[in-house]
Amino acid sequence: MRRIDHRAPAAFAIALGLLAAPARLVRAADAPPPPYKLTADLGYVNTSGNSRVQTLTAGDKLEHHRGRWLFTQDAAAVWGTTDGVENAGRYGVGLRADYELSKRLGSGGGASATRFHRIATADESPGLRLTRCAGSC
């Protein structure tokens, strides 16, 4: 029976977790909030048993406030394999702009694109989905 060394992926996952640990920034209580806000996530899963599965995920969201405007960019990716064969792949990006008409009412629009790998179908070609919206979407 072949012995699998799990130390390298575990060390990699721990290192990523330490790098992604949130850092607190200290600012004065009366200072205005920063115009930019960045949120990011990263994940890695490695399992084995009857099959060996690896999954890597990553994503981000960048927001920029300018007066009553909010501009948002986001991206996400998922990649996975089972026994060395890619069986999951989804990659997407999006842009959005929102305008605050009042404290309770706003308007916005955006566009996004998603590329995905079709799983368990006769058609193995990659897919692409484009989306655009306006108003409340």
* Per-residue model confidence as pLDDT tens digits over 87-103: 888 889 999 999 999 88
- Quote the strand ranges of 15-51, DSSP E: 36-48
Task: Tell me the sheet residues that pair with 127.
Answer: 116
Query: What's the whole-model pTM score?
Result: 0.63
Question: If you search the block for the tokens 């026994």, which residue do you land on?
Answer: 83
- The rounded mean pLDDT for the chain is 77
- Quote the strand ranges of the chain, DSSP E: 36-48, 52-66, 69-82, 85-100, 106-116, 127-134
Give the mean model confidence (pLDDT) for residues 16-24. 54
Reported as a single tens digit per residue, the pLDDT across 27-85 is 555 677 788 999 999 999 999 889 899 999 999 999 999 999 999 999 999 988 888 88
Residue 24: band (very low, low, confident or very high) from pLDDT cuts 50, 70, 90 = very low
